[in-house]
Chain A
């Protein structure tokens, strides 16, 4: 007697399968864009809903938005410093919100009920392209922040406190985006895989702890990415006080 394989529609494993869209001679991962549009749509809907009628006595969604705003402001102010944090608040906040909603959306939205011809929907942050894109944006912004604030004096940072630091600081410029992108990508992908494998093996109850852990990791990863991005920018705009 051959046991029937228990294959539920939400418990299939596909790794590295992409839904390719051809744009001219460029190829993009369609499933990443589809899920990111859903995520961006949700984010914008929340924001529009909450900020439609701003009042001095906040009510409803405005409370949530103000809480998020102050949370992000405190994060940015702590990492970047009082002087420059205002310019970078939207960028840090967008990174945090986008990654957070992507991660939680990947864990909470039942993507698997949507059949794609190839690949499957999931958290956009489980695709290396998304995380590398954001990590490179962070690199660009901290260079821009440093150069626009200090001009060429920014490069003094590379030889401080001693010129011996020069090679390490140059290597750091490469390792920063690398670690940022791979940390996020690895955590989210691993979480999705663990949940998928557990759901594949035992589709009831057993995956739940892993799912909760995944939600926790997702939130932490969003916070880490935003905090590190702010920290890098803060390092670049930091003025030596002497």
Chain B
């Protein structure tokens, strides 16, 4: 490629600069606004091999989102223009959803801190599930009260608590309530509704 002279580059620059064209009377909302960058720019969602509908994970306004993915990894998250709630818009938190999904601080392994330990250690999901199930059963069995001394039925354990739910799916809340309350007899079951 021949070396471009300074005048060549100046001409190219002026041709690419949209202001002179607009000053010359071209419509600033049409071709006059175009530049090489705009001409060659591609939509960031173009590489997606799938798109799915989602709901913003932050507040309860319930903005609809479109998640664009490639190889089952997110490449962009945008407001869903068809939603009557957000009509394609997102707030600073909602617009950060992509950053949330791909945050370098996302946890991807199960960590365990033994009593009195000063650091985490990595454990397998299966080991953790097994240990949690055993601890749950042990604590429940040690603390379960069938009847009060006066014979009133209690059927509960006060030794295990659960916090959370307001950031989770309805279906997840349902299973939490069903297993913890109806199954295990836990009474200390709460979420952020009072926070």
* B partners with A: no
Residues of A within 8 A of B (CB): none
